[in-house]
Amino acid sequence: MYSWHDIASRTEKVYNDITIKQPLPLIDRLKRYYGCGAWAGKLFCLLVALDFLLLWFLEFCFPREGIDVARDWPKKRAYVEENGKNSIKGKGKGKGKGANGGIGRDQNLVGSGGAGSRVDVMVKESMENGIGIGNNV
């Protein structure tokens, strides 16, 4: 029988196995690719060799030590009004259209589910950040 729990546990097992294993050396990988077919294996080997040379060239021009590590993107806590109460996004009990059934201040939004809907929160955050949505909403 199809079970999400079974799929999740098998996926977790695969990911754990991958993180433990050491990557194969280039020559061993080339041997594996070479055995993939009469002409496809040779093509795979050529592409892997070109990728390796490109990686080596980029590593030479831009060493890893000179590249800054990206920091985590800061997350803002989104407060939404749901059923007349202010709550933190994701903490409210209802996922519905709010107390007014979707009719009110955001009725001009296409596909809006009302106050506290995902569309409402995305539009609100976009307007606060000045991203892509004008004042005509």
DSSP 53-111: HHHHHHHHHS-GGGSPPPPPPP-PPPEEEETTEEEETTT-S--SSTTTTT-STTTTSTT
Asked if 57 and 87 sit in the same domain, the reply is no
Residue 9 inside a domain? The answer is: no
Between CA 107 and CA 91 the distance in angstroms is 24
Q: Structure pTM?
A: 0.41
Residue 70 has pLDDT above 80, yes or no: yes
Its domain, for residue 116, covers 79-129
- 120 close to 80: Cβ distance less than 8 angstroms: yes
Helix and strand tally (H, E) in the chain? 4, 2
**pLDDT band (50, 70, 90) for residue 68:** confident
Instruction: Count up the domains in the chain and report the number.
Output: 2
Mean pLDDT of the chain: 74
The Cα–Cα gap between 114 and 37 comes to 57
Tokens of residue 11, six digits:
């996926």
Looking at the domain assignment, is residue 4 inside a domain? no
Amino acid at 20: I
